[in-house]
C-alpha cells in the first residue's frame, strides 16, 4: 500500500506537524508513506504510479480543499484529518464575514466528499455527528497526546482505516485489468454452467477488444499465449489472470459480492485452478454502501413495474398474435425488467449475467423475437444492451436476435451502468 500525506505549509507547524511526522515514520512497517507540503509536490506523486490513498491533514486552508478536489479528479481515495479544527473553541474567524463563509464552504465541500474523516477521540466524533457532513468517520487516537495507544498501534489502526476505505470503493478503484479479469471469470463460469464445457482458452480473450474473442473466427492459444485474428493479422497479448496479485483479487471478490456474482467468480477461479485466497466478504470491514442491490435474479414471467398497464396489454396481444415460446416471452420480460431496474438504480451485474445467459445459451426464433421487441418499442434499448454485452462479456453477433447499436444512447447506458458499479 502506498500512501501520500499532504499538509499545507502554513499548517505544518506545532503539534500537527509533529503528529504527521510521527505517523509517516511509524507507517514504514505497514505501508510506503511519503509527505508533501505543496500542491505541486502532491501532483507529482502520481508518477510513475498513483498512490492508494491521499491523506490530507489540516482544516482552515484553501489548499486542503484544492488537494481534495485534485485527488477526486484523479480518482484517488481521500482521507482527511481535521485535527480538532472544527471544535467550537478551535474556530478561527476570518478578517471579514465574506472570507469566513467562503472558507467554511470550501472546507464543508471537501469534508462531505472525502472517502473518510479521521478524528482523534469521542468529542471530535460527536462534533462530526452534529455537523452531519460525512457519516464515514473513524477514530484513531493520537499517540502524542494519550498513552491509551502506542505509536505502532496508531500506525496499524490508520493502515486498517486505509484498507477500509479501499474495500468500501472497490469498483471505483479497480484497474481496467481487474475489471477485465472479473468479466473473463464471469464468462468462464457462465459457459461452464450452461454448457458444461470449459477450455483454458477462455483466458485468451479481452472483453473490450474485438480482436481477442476466441469464438469469433480467431485463433487462440491457452492461458498466456498471444491471440491472433487471421482476418486482419492483428496480434494482442491477453490478460494474464494468473499474474494478478492478492490486492487485485481482494477488490474483485468484494465487488463480485456486491454484484451478487461471487459464486460465479469463485467457480471460475476453481476451474482455472487460480491460486487466490478466498475471503469471507461478509467479514470485511467497510463503510455503509450507498448502493444496496437486491439479491437474486429478475423475474422472467412478470413485470416489476406495477403500473405498466400499456406494456402488459402489449404482452397479452403478443401472446395471441405471435404465439411465442416461453423463452421468447422470458427474454422480453427480462429486457423490460432490466430497463426498470436501471431506471430505479437497482440493477446488479447478476441481472446482466442472467440476461446474457438466456440470450446466449437458449433456443428461440430470432425473427419472432425481433418483431416482439419492435412491438414493445424495446429495439433501441435492447440493441444497445446487446452492444454492451458484446463489449463486456464477448457476446457473439451470431447469438444476437437483433443488430447491436453503439451510439450516444449506448454511451448514456454505459454511464448509467458505471454509476451503478457495473462494468460497461
Residue 124: pLDDT band (50, 70, 90) is very high
**Where is average pLDDT lowest: 7-16, 98-107, 158-167, 330-339?**
98-107
* E-strand stretches of 27-170: 32-36, 53-57, 78-81, 116-119, 137-139
- Report the percent of the chain where pLDDT is more than 70: 86
Shortest CA distance to 67 belongs to which of 114, 128, 1, 105? 114
Tens-place pLDDT, residues 61-86: 889 999 999 999 999 999 999 988 77
Residue ranges of alpha helices (H) inside 233-365 are 246-258, 262-271, 309-321, 326-343, 349-361
**What is the C-alpha separation between 244 and 177, in angstroms, rounded?**
9
Residue 231: pLDDT band (50, 70, 90) is very low
Tens-place pLDDT, residues 136-172: 999 999 999 999 999 999 999 999 999 999 999 999 9
Tens-place pLDDT, residues 267-281: 999 998 888 888 899
- Given a cut of 80, whether residue 178 has pLDDT beyond it is yes
Backbone angles phi, psi at 233, to 5 degrees: 55, 25
Host H or E run for residue 113: helix 97-113
Specify the CATH superfamily of domain 2-167. Glycogen Phosphorylase B; (3.40.50.2000)
Residue 111: pLDDT band (50, 70, 90) is very high
Tens-place pLDDT, residues 289-333: 988 899 999 999 999 998 788 999 999 999 999 899 999 999 999
Please state, as a whole number, how many other Cβ atoms lie within 10 Å of the Cβ of residue 394. Answer: 24
Rounded mean pLDDT, 15-22: 93
**What is the C-alpha separation between 174 and 170, in angstroms, rounded?**
6
Q: What is the pLDDT of residue 242?
A: 82
**What is the C-alpha separation between 407 and 423, in angstroms, rounded?**
18
Q: What is the pLDDT of residue 101?
A: 60
Q: What is the pLDDT of residue 199?
A: 53
Residue 103: pLDDT band (50, 70, 90) is low
User: In the chain, what are the domain boundaries?
Assistant: 2-167, 176-283, 309-419
Q: What is the pLDDT of residue 92?
A: 57
Asked if 107 contacts 64 with a C-beta cutoff of 8 angstroms, the reply is: yes
Rounded mean pLDDT, 326-350: 96
Quickly list DSSP for 168-229.
TTHHHH--HHHHHHHHHHHHHHHHHHHH----GGGGG--TT-GGG-TTSS-EE-STTS-EEE
Whole-prediction pTM: 0.86
Q: What is the pLDDT of residue 107?
A: 82
Residue 93: pLDDT band (50, 70, 90) is low
Q: Return the SS3 of 84.
A: coil
Amino acid at each position: 500500500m502506498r500512501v501520500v500525506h499532504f499538509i499545507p505549509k502554513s499548517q505544518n507547524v506545532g503539534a500537527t506537524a509533529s503528529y504527521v511526522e510521527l505517523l509517516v515514520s511509524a507507517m514504514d512497517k505497514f505501508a510506503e508513506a511519503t509527505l508533501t507540503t505543496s500542491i505541486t509536490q502532491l501532483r507529482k506523486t502520481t508518477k510513475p504510479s498513483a498512490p492508494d490513498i491521499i491523506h490530507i491533514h489540516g482544516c482552515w486552508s484553501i489548499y486542503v480543499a484544492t488537494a481534495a478536489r485534485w485527488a477526486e479528479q484523479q480518482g484517488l481515495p481521500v482521507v482527511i484529518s481535521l485535527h480538532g479544527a472544527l471544535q467550537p473553541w478551535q474556530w478561527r474567524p476570518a478578517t471579514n464575514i465574506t472570507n469566513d463563509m467562503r472558507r467554511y464552504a470550501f472546507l464543508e465541500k471537501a469534508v462531505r466528499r472525502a472517502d473518510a474523516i479521521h478524528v482523534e477521540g469521542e468529542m471530535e466524533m460527536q462534533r462530526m455527528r452534529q455537523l452531519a457532513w460525512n457519516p464515514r468517520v473513524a477514530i484513531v487516537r493520537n499517540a502524542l497526546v494519550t498513552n491509551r495507544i502506542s505509536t505502532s498501534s496508531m500506525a496499524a489502526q490508520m493502515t486498517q482505516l486505509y484498507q477500509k476505505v479501499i474495500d468500501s470503493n472497490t469498483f471505483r478503484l479497480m484497474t481496467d485489468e481487474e475489471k477485465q479479469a472479473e468479466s473473463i471469470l464471469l464468462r468462464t463460469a457462465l459457459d461452464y454452467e450452461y454448457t458444461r464445457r470449459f477450455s483454458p482458452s477462455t483466458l485468451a480473450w479481452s472483453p473490450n477488444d474485438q480482436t481477442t474473442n476466441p469464438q469469433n473466427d480467431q485463433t487462440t492459444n491457452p492461458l498466456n499465449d498471444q491471440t491472433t485474428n487471421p482476418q486482419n493479422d492483428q496480434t494482442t497479448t491477453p490478460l494474464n489472470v494468473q499474474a494478478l496479485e492478492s490486492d487485485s483479487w481482494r477488490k474483485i471478490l468484494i465487488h463480485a459480492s456486491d454484484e451478487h456474482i461471487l459464486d460465479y467468480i469463485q467457480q471460475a477461479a476453481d476451474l482455472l485452478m487460480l491460486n487466490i485466497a478466498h475471503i469471507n466478504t461478509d467479514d470485511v470491514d467497510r463503510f455503509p454502501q450507498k448502493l444496496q442491490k437486491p439479491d437474486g435474479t429478475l423475474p422472467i414471467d412478470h413485470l416489476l413495474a406495477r403500473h405498466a398497464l400499456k406494456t402488459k396489454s402489449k404482452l397479452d396481444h403478443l401472446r395471441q398474435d405471435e404465439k411465442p415460446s416461453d423463452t421468447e416471452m422470458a427474454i422480453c420480460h427480462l429486457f423490460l425488467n432490466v430497463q426498470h431496474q436501471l431506471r430505479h438504480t437497482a440493477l446488479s451485474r447478476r441481472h446482466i449475467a442472467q440476461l446474457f445467459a438466456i440470450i446466449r445459451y437458449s433456443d428461440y426464433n430470432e425473427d419472432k423475437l425481433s418483431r416482439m421487441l419492435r412491438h414493445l418499442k424495446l429495439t433501441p434499448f435492447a440493441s444497445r444492451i446487446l452492444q454492451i454485452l458484446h463489449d463486456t462479456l464477448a457476446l457473439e453477433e451470431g447469438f444476437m436476435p437483433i443488430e447491436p447499436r453503439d451510439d450516444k444512447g449506448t454511451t448514456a447506458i454505459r454511464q448509467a451502468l458505471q454509476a451503478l458499479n457495473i462494468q460497461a
